[in-house]
Amino acid sequence: MSENVWLAFSLTLLAGLATGAGGALAFVAKKDNMKLLSVGLGFSAGVMIYVSFVEILRKAEIALTADLGPELGPWAAVGCFFAGMLAAALLDKLVPPGISYHEMQINQPEESQAELAGKLERMGLLTAFVIAMHNFPEGLATFMGALEDPALGVSLAIAIAIHNIPEGMSVALPIFYATRSKLRGFFFALLSGLAEPIGGIVGYFILRSVFSDGVFGISFAVVAGIMVYISLDELLPMSRESHSGHASMLGLVLGMLAMAVSLLLF
């Protein structure tokens, strides 16, 4: 049993570190390249929208159906999804004046560049937070799965690691453009990924008695709603404003494609 615990922890740790690997891709970005920023923000939105609808919400519905039955389960998943969107909207209202996306535009005079940097950093940190929220129950599920069946744990860890790479990119890029620090972008991408092993450890020592399909499903559906709201309300509008043309749409499609391929491969 102790060997399985160490294996489960190692697998969730490796899956989480893949988010940092994605964040390391910020090291290839060039500062002041607004087209790349537009593509990157669109990419982030594509990753978050696709994984929310195709993977996270679907898993939430399956878990809640197992917990509540085929009639109530899908309704509960939809309700929690929109509750997540509502929570994100309410949090948006609490943002102090001057750093809300809706109060600023990308193409402002030079004196507003500090405000733009603050907004980009806030966006990156917010993305890191919601991805960490997503990674926490994901890590818990991987850890518990590996305890019961090591082969299943390996498969889950590989699948999660693959799609954690684009998630890490979505965290690191806006933070890099805000702070001009590639190391800072990488750090927060890595930090969001470490929610995977933390989720596994907390689950093993604390939440084993209360963890259920219902808890898993609710948390996943709420996180999906938050991720979609942030993508539509902040990432995509900012992407379109940072560069004219179809850079935003290109990033959106590339983000969806990267996530789709990662999910199909594993």
Q: What three-state secondary structure class fits 91?
A: helix
The tokens for 214 are: 């219902």
- Least confident among 13-17, 38-42, 148-152, 192-196: 148-152
Task: Read off φ and ψ for residue 30, nearest 5 degrees.
Answer: -105, 130
According to the per-residue pLDDT averaged within each range, which of 72-76, 103-107, 144-148 is highest?
Answer: 72-76
Average pLDDT, the chain: 80
Closest to 124 in 3D by CA, of 187, 173, 61: 173
The DSSP annotation for 24-84 comes to HGGGG--TT-HHHHHHHHHHHHHHHHHIIIIIIHHHHHHHHHHHH-TTHHHHHHHHHHHHH
Count of domains for the chain: 1
Give residue 151's identity as a one-letter amino acid code.
A
Using pLDDT thresholds of 50, 70 and 90, give the confidence band for residue 33: low
According to the per-residue pLDDT averaged within each range, which of 11-20, 25-34, 64-73, 245-254 is highest?
Answer: 64-73
Using pLDDT thresholds of 50, 70 and 90, give the confidence band for residue 32: low
Closest to 29 in 3D by CA, of 164, 184, 240, 160: 184
The tokens for 144 are: 């518990």
Alpha carbons 39 and 199: distance in angstroms, whole number: 31
DSSP secondary structure code for residue 107 in this structure: S
Annotation-wise, does 138 bind a ligand? yes
Annotation-wise, does 167 bind a ligand? yes
The answer to whether residues 189 and 150 touch, using CB atoms and an 8 Å cutoff, is no
Q: What angle do CA 266, 216, 173 make, to 5 degrees?
A: 60
Residue range 40-63: mean pLDDT, rounded: 89
Residue range 46-56: mean pLDDT, rounded: 89
Residue range 159-169: mean pLDDT, rounded: 79
Annotation-wise, does 163 bind a ligand? yes
pLDDT of residue 74: 97
For residue 111, pLDDT over 70 is answered with no
Annotation-wise, does 115 bind a ligand? no
Closest to 134 in 3D by CA, of 218, 49, 219: 219
- By percentage, how much of the chain surpasses pLDDT 90? 22
For residue 99, pLDDT over 70 is answered with no
Alpha carbons 236 and 208: distance in angstroms, whole number: 39
- Least confident among 62-66, 105-109, 255-259: 105-109
0.75 surpassed by pTM: no
pLDDT of residue 103: 46
Domain enclosing residue 144, as ranges: 2-265
Q: What three-state secondary structure class fits 244?
A: coil
